[in-house]
Amino acid sequence: MSEQTAAHHHHRRPYELRHRHRRGTAPGTLISRAEAHAPHMTLMSYDGHNLADRREASLEDIDAAVEQWPMNWIDVSGLADADLIAALGKRFGIHPLALEDVINVHQRPKVEDYDANLFVITRMPSYGAHHLELEQLSLFMGEGFVITFQERPGDCFEPVRERIRKSPGNRGRLLRSDYLSYALLDAVVDSYFPILEAFSNRLDELEDRAIARPSEKLVGEMHAVKRQLQAMRRAVWPQRELFRVMTRDVQAVSGDTRLFLRDCEDHAVQILDVVETYRERATSALDLYVTAINHRMNEVMKVLTIIATVFMPLTVITGIYGMNFDTAASPYNMPELGWRYGYPFVLGVITAVGVGLLVLFRRRGWLGGRWRS
């Protein structure tokens, strides 16, 4: 595989459609992608005072925890094991079509209200080495449980885990699955803001380079930023509608949790506004690059024009004195050719004309200084 092809496979476009079943496949069929990560399952079970935090959990641990604890958060990182996902779906009454959406990670953010649970899909961002990844996060909420499915290890949920660990006796709303789901979705939304700050710094850098060191490489980097911002917009735009549905049309979400979800909706709208602003900045940076290139070209053309203008009269003078007419044939045939000081005289005229033109250009502002008409 060539270096360019390898780079393409490593840096997929964050909004690229990655997987589809073959035509004719039965609905609800679970087929893991070949490039999916191996699953890693954790379990946090707790009540108002106690906590069981399992960093490596099995299906048997989950069965026992559901019987013992009033609240259980099951987190699965990696979607390579379709049998595991199917087993979890069977234990918690999850619809096969929802499980199919979990495995096929090209879904648009959405919320679906099933009888036994609530199903939410959103996009969780990550940013590194100037590359944006938008990972699908699937969340199921039911009585006494929340299940999250991630494409790969690594997430933005550590603050939520710390709240659960460090607040025994004061977990309050976190004992409810709707509020825990809100806390996780809020963490996802908040994770966009540091990435937006990184984009702001990136755009500042590109704008400075567009002025100081414009190059063809810069154009590709600017277009990459625009594509990533477009992908972020496509991920956040439906999230706004997702929160709107959860705050108005979902009965499983309690009234006080809906107030917090409205705050998430406000944050999603704010992210969209910032993304639109940054897209305009990226377009302006491209315009700035074109302006800088045109300015540099104008400067080059101006210098070349001045050089040509200076040498035009000098070429005329040297052309006249290069004709070599015979002075013996006529006293009017280049009498300076027989003059003792003819050569120094012509050199002096050439120098005077050249210096005089440079002084004139300088006074006109064509060689620095303020332009004068």
Q: Where are the alpha helices (DSSP H) in the chain?
A: 3-10, 59-68, 82-91, 96-103, 158-165, 177-190, 192-212, 216-248, 255-320, 342-364
Instruction: Give the C-alpha separation, 193 to 126, whole Å.
Output: 11
**Residue 125 DSSP SS3:** strand
Angle at 71 between CA 47 and CA 184, to 5 degrees: 110
**Average pLDDT value for residue range 5-18:** 47
Decide if pLDDT at 10 tops 80: no
Instruction: Give the C-alpha separation, 311 to 307, whole Å.
Output: 6
Side-by-side strand order, sheet with 51-54: 51-54, 40-46, 71-77, 145-150, 131-142, 118-128, 110-113
Label residue 16 by pLDDT band (50, 70, 90): low
How many beta carbons lie within 10 A of that of residue 40, not counting itself?
Answer: 15
What are the tens digits of pLDDT across the range 254-272? 888 999 999 999 999 999 9
The amino acid that residue 372 corresponds to is R
- Put simply, whether the predicted model's pTM sits higher than 0.85 gets the answer no
Name all domains of the chain by residue range, CATH numbers in brackets: 31-164+172-291 (3.30.460.20), 321-373 (no CATH)
Angle at 62 between CA 59 and CA 64, to 5 degrees: 115
C-alpha distances in Å from residue 4, one per residue of 7, 35, 128, 220:
5, 19, 19, 15
Q: What is the pLDDT of residue 156?
A: 93
Q: What is the pLDDT of residue 6?
A: 42
Between 171 and 221, where is the model more confident? 221
**Average pLDDT value for residue range 46-67:** 92
- Between 151-155, 282-286, 323-327, the lowest mean confidence (pLDDT) is in 323-327
Label residue 368 by pLDDT band (50, 70, 90): low
Q: What is the pLDDT of residue 135?
A: 94
Decide if pLDDT at 27 tops 80: no
Q: What is the pLDDT of residue 343?
A: 77
Share of the chain above pLDDT 90, in %: 49
Q: What is the pLDDT of residue 213?
A: 79
Between 368 and 117, where is the model more confident? 117
Enumerate long-range contacts of 45-48, CB under 8 Å, 24 or more apart: 45/69, 45/71, 45/72, 45/73, 46/71, 46/164, 46/171, 46/174, 46/175, 47/71, 47/171, 47/175, 48/168, 48/169, 48/171, 48/175
What are the tens digits of pLDDT across the range 282-312? 888 888 778 777 877 887 788 788 888 888 8
Label residue 173 by pLDDT band (50, 70, 90): confident
* Spatial CA neighbour of 46 closest among 116, 159, 118, 144: 144
Instruction: Give the C-alpha separation, 280 to 298, whole Å.
Output: 26
**Residue 136 DSSP SS3:** strand
What are the tens digits of pLDDT across the range 338-365? 777 777 888 888 888 888 888 887 787 7
Label residue 201 by pLDDT band (50, 70, 90): very high
Q: What is the pLDDT of residue 290?
A: 81
Instruction: Give the C-alpha separation, 189 to 254, whole Å.
Output: 20
Decide if pLDDT at 20 tops 60: no
How many beta carbons lie within 10 A of that of residue 83, not counting itself?
Answer: 9
Label residue 274 by pLDDT band (50, 70, 90): very high
Residue 52: its H or E element: strand 51-54
**Residue 74 DSSP SS3:** strand
Decide if pLDDT at 5 tops 70: no
Between 140 and 220, where is the model more confident? 140
| Ranges 9-18, 313-322, 348-357, most confident | 348-357
The amino acid that residue 30 corresponds to is L
**Average pLDDT value for residue range 207-219:** 82
